[in-house]
Amino acid sequence: MNTQAITQNPANIEVRRMDFGFDGLQEQDWFRGNPILSAFMAVLSGTFPPGEQMFIQSVRYFKDRITDPDLQESVRLFTQQEAHHTHQHKQANLRLEALGWRALEIEKRVEQAIRLLNRKRSPEGQLAMTVCLEHLTAIVAEFVLTHPEHFEGMQPSVRNMLVWHAIEEIEHKSVAFDVYMQVCGDRKALRRMMNRMAVMFPLLTTLRTFYLLIRARRLPRWKHLREARQMLTAENGMLTCLKQPLKDFYHEDFHPDDHDNRGLVETWKAEIEQYRLG
């Protein structure tokens, strides 16, 4: 077992009850009029509810073995944040489904895939998978808040849900890692798991995006392909910007808090207040 000190501070995790409302989501190609980008974001939204339920379950499985009181409180707040994310994305997915993007089908497919992956995986292995996916989610969240230019032209309620989700993913990005290090601490197993997740997650997301385009009978034009490529692989594109923070995960002494995003989060908090309940 790893004896590394827990660095989690529950004061950095804020549970916000939100109501974005998606009635304004009227156009099928709601992200810049681009069916590829619209389908891509629909896949991500469909992935989140079952994925975040897995995160909650894998972390809470070890709650009785967590001895640090701050980490216990962080797990409680992590669970509440992820539960709210699930609820809001389910609301968004209902609207996306009505527009012709089969987000609810993506939810079911991801849920089935998780059950299949976890069938022969130990609780420790499931927690390791959560740690890796939480890191991938956190560095994507950093990209969202650092490069808002890529999300211009997105329907406003969805854009602000994305900002809110990114803020909270950054706030709780260390929780699963700290639980893993306290109850298991096998960094080699973590790195092996990341080798799989870093390939599997983008591959499945890409395949599901093409699947939604086919089911929606949406044939992208060359300009749509160029725009999607720009967002993903340009000098400041998503995949380009994720390379270094992904590599950092493989450092022997890596901790998610090595990437200090507190200033970035503070900059964006005011953006989402209009959607906050109470």
Residue 184 in domain: yes
Phi, psi for residue 78 in degrees, rounded to 5: -55, -45
Residue 84 in domain: yes
Task: Work out the pLDDT band at 9, boundaries 50, 70, 90.
Answer: confident
What's the rounded Cα separation, in Å, for the pair 86 and 122?
24
Q: What is the mean pLDDT of the chain?
A: 94
How many domains does the chain divide into? 1
Looking up residue 75, the CATH number of its domain turns out to be: 1.10.620
**pLDDT exceeds cutoff 90 at 216:** yes
Structure token digits, residue 87? 């609820």
* Least-confidence region, from 74-83, 185-194, 258-267: 258-267
Reference 81, options 140, 137, 151; nearest CA is 137
Structure token digits, residue 92? 């968004």
Position 2 scores a pLDDT of: 40
Report the amino acid identity of residue 81: Q
Domain extent at residue 82: 31-273
Residue 207 in domain: yes
Position 3 scores a pLDDT of: 37
Position 47 scores a pLDDT of: 98
**pLDDT exceeds cutoff 70 at 6:** no
Q: Average pLDDT, stretch 99-120?
A: 95
Q: What is the pLDDT of residues 166-175, one digit of tens each?
A: 999 999 999 9
Phi, psi for residue 57 in degrees, rounded to 5: -65, -40
User: By three-state DSSP, how is residue 52 classified?
Assistant: helix
CB atoms within 10 A of CB 137: 23
Position 11 scores a pLDDT of: 81
- pTM exceeds 0.75 for this model: yes
Residue 79 in domain: yes
Task: Work out the pLDDT band at 1, boundaries 50, 70, 90.
Answer: very low
Please state, for a pLDDT cut of 90, what percent of the chain lies above it: 91
What's the rounded Cα separation, in Å, for the pair 119 and 202?
22
What's the rounded Cα separation, in Å, for the pair 3 and 5?
6
Structure token digits, residue 258? 């090595």
Position 8 scores a pLDDT of: 60
Residue 16 in domain: no
**pLDDT exceeds cutoff 50 at 257:** yes
Q: What is the pLDDT of residues 139-181, one digit of tens each?
A: 999 999 999 999 999 999 999 999 999 999 999 999 999 999 9
Contacting residues for 138 by C-beta, under 8 A, at least 6 apart = 169, 170, 173, 256, 259
Task: Work out the pLDDT band at 120, boundaries 50, 70, 90.
Answer: confident
Position 278 scores a pLDDT of: 64
Residue 66 in domain: yes
| Radius of gyration of the CA atoms of the chain, in A | 18
Residue 175 in domain: yes
Residue 158 in domain: yes
